[in-house]
Amino acid sequence: MTVINLKTGNEIKITDEMTLSCALGNFDGVHRGHMALLKEATEKGDCTHSAVWTFRRHPRLCSGDDGFSVLTTTEQRTALFAGAGIDIVIFCDFPEVKDVAPKDFVRRILYKECRVRRAVCGYNFRYGKNAAGTPEMLSEEMAAVGAEEVTVDAVKSADGTVISSSAVRRFLEEGKIEKANDLLGREFCVSLPVSEGQRLGRTLGLPTVNQVFPPQLVIPRHGVYAAKCTIDGTEYKAVANIGVRPTVTNHAENVNCETHIIGFSGDLYGRTISVRLCGFLRDEKKFSSVDELKSAILADEENALRLLSGGG
Active-site residue (options: 258, 284, 301, 302): 258
Integer Cα distance of 248 and 47 in angstroms: 57
Task: Report the amino acid identity of residue 96.
Answer: E
Contact 163, 32 (CB under 8 A): yes
Phi, psi of 185 (to 5 degrees): 85, 15
Residues 6+ positions from 88 with CB-CB distance below 8 Å: 3, 4, 5, 6, 12, 20, 49, 50, 51, 52
CA 253 centroid distance within chain: 24
Q: Which of 121, 130, 104 is nearest to 52 (CA)?
A: 121
> Is 43 a residue of the active site?
no
- Would you please indicate which residues are annotated as catalytic (active-site) residues? 258
